[in-house]
Amino acid sequence: LVGKFAAFRSTIFAEMTALAQRTGAINLGQGFPDSDGPPELLSAAAEAVLSGHNQYPPLPGVPALRTAIAEQRAADYGTPYDPDTEILVTAGATEAIAAAIAALVPAGDEVLVFEPYYDSYGAAIALAGAVRRTVRLRPAGDRFTFDPGELAAAVTPRTRAFLVNTPHNPTGTVLSAAELAAVAELCERHDLIAITDEVYEHLVFDGVRHVPLASLPGMAARTLTISSAGKTFNATGWKVGWICGPAPMVAAVRTVKQYLTFAGGTPFQHAVAAVLPDRHRWLDSLRARLTATRDTLRDTLTATGWRCFACQGTYFLQVDAGSVGYVDGTALCHDLATEAQVVAIPSGAFYADPASGREFVRFAFCKSPAVIATAAARLAGFA
Ligand code: PMP
Ligand code: GLN
């Protein structure tokens, strides 16, 4: 292995998807749906290609998409953004996260993150030459949360930013009003920038509400909010994401972004702009389908002795490897792939030290009811 970032090797998602392809196992590892988004989205993309939207878009993104994003955030959360200066379209949420940290956190300063965290966070912080500080989420009953004392103790004079993900991958936690208030209070007390990853903003279940940190009193002025069309419209391969926030912060992110990718995905941006205003019916049905597949998986596993954690949102259900006799999630995932023909993700991949999360395993349930029923039956037979 060569290169400055050799330690990051290949992502667990690429590794486990390759394993599923090699073995023919059902892939509940990498989080991507097995069906496409709404037909209107697909035809809008085809139309955009055929009607000549195939050259570079403007650096900040096509105006119609920025306007649609501003309208969505105002309607859903009451947070106003100026489409010209406060919204930037990015190559997925992944680019937005990396560009935001590179733009706003000086090398050597610290970024606070809840651990476990989505794997690109560690790499994005390292690419910026910044330092990661973690605050652990742990199960309290069956739901993962943080200890406010530990959170307060994690901040140092070098801490610049707090990278927050809600709904949270991989735990399925959606931060509550009280938890968000604690995060906001900490950011204000220590003058931190908040960078919030809300790619699962619409994928919340059982009446749980997603509340953006930027909508809390005083927080809009210090918060960059990130989302993506990938999860909202079953289009993870399109890599259309965005970041919204105060104009000077968005301008700083734009400066970095222009030298990473400049811009991209013109026809896909037009297609997302066309359907975002009519998202409600699609999202109601998507949430209903995800609730049903989550329930099938969780109920079948629980009935056969697996310990499942609460899943309030996202694509993911976490389980305790110990409940089926394993101390190590990696060993469990290996045996599941070969013996049950189901691929999952060992959640140690979401920890700075994988040993810290070795008892947890993550299943993605964003698949058809038939696939989930088959996978659940195989897992029930394994336990
Ligand atoms: N953040 C989280 C929490 C994710 O789970 C993912 C994976 N989709 C991303 C960011 C990346 O999003 P995108 O594909 O839009 O880059
Ligand atoms: N967000 C997806 C997950 O958590 C993976 C995206 C990727 O492959 N990088 O499974």
Q: Give the pLDDT band of residue 115 (cuts 50, 70, 90).
A: very high
CATH topology assigned to domain 6-37+280-382: Aspartate Aminotransferase, domain 1 (3.90.1150)
pLDDT tens across 303-328, in order?
999 999 999 999 999 999 999 999 99
User: If you write DSSP's letter for every residue of 225-243 in order, what string do you get?
Assistant: EEEEHHHHTT-TTT-EEEE
Contact 257, 90 (CB under 8 A): yes
ipTM here: 0.97
Is the C-beta atom of 165 inside 6 A of ligand 1? yes
Q: Give the pLDDT band of residue 177 (cuts 50, 70, 90).
A: very high
pLDDT tens across 192-246, in order?
999 999 999 999 999 999 999 999 999 999 999 999 999 999 999 999 999 999 9
- Nearest ligand to the CA of 199 is 1
Q: Distance between CA 22 and CA 19 in Å, rounded?
A: 5
Beta bridge partners of 225: 196, 244
Q: What is the mean pLDDT of the chain?
A: 97
Q: How far is CA 214 from the centre of its chain?
A: 17
Overall average pLDDT of the 34-45 stretch: 98
Determine the pLDDT at residue 337. 95
pLDDT tens across 53-112, in order?
999 999 999 999 999 999 999 999 999 999 999 999 999 999 999 999 999 999 999 999
Which of these CATH numbers, 3.40.630.10, 3.20.20.70, 3.40.640.10, 3.40.50.970, describes 44-277?
Answer: 3.40.640.10
The vertex-275 CA angle with 272 and 277, nearest 5°, equals 115
Spacing, Cα 38 to ligand 1 middle (Å)? 20
Backbone angles phi, psi at 56, to 5 degrees: -50, 135
Residue entry with tokens 């690419």: 127
Domain boundaries defined on the chain: 6-37+280-382, 44-277
Determine the 3-state secondary structure of 276 from DSSP.
helix
pTM of the model: 0.97
Determine the 3-state secondary structure of 91 from DSSP.
strand
Is the C-beta atom of 92 inside 6 A of ligand 1? yes
pLDDT of 1 strictly over 80: no
Is the C-beta atom of 13 inside 6 A of ligand 2? yes
Q: Give the pLDDT band of residue 9 (cuts 50, 70, 90).
A: confident
**Which residue of 115, 120, 350 sits with most ligand 1 atoms within 8 Å of its CB, as the best mutation to test the pocket?**
120
Atom of ligand 2 nearest to the CA of 236: 6
Spacing, Cα 225 to ligand 1 middle (Å)? 13
Would you state the structure tokens that stand for residue 343, as one six-digit string?
């691929």
**Which residue of 168, 174, 231 sits with most ligand 1 atoms within 8 Å of its CB, as the best mutation to test the pocket?**
231
Is the C-beta atom of 79 inside 6 A of ligand 2? no
Q: Give the pLDDT band of residue 383 (cuts 50, 70, 90).
A: confident
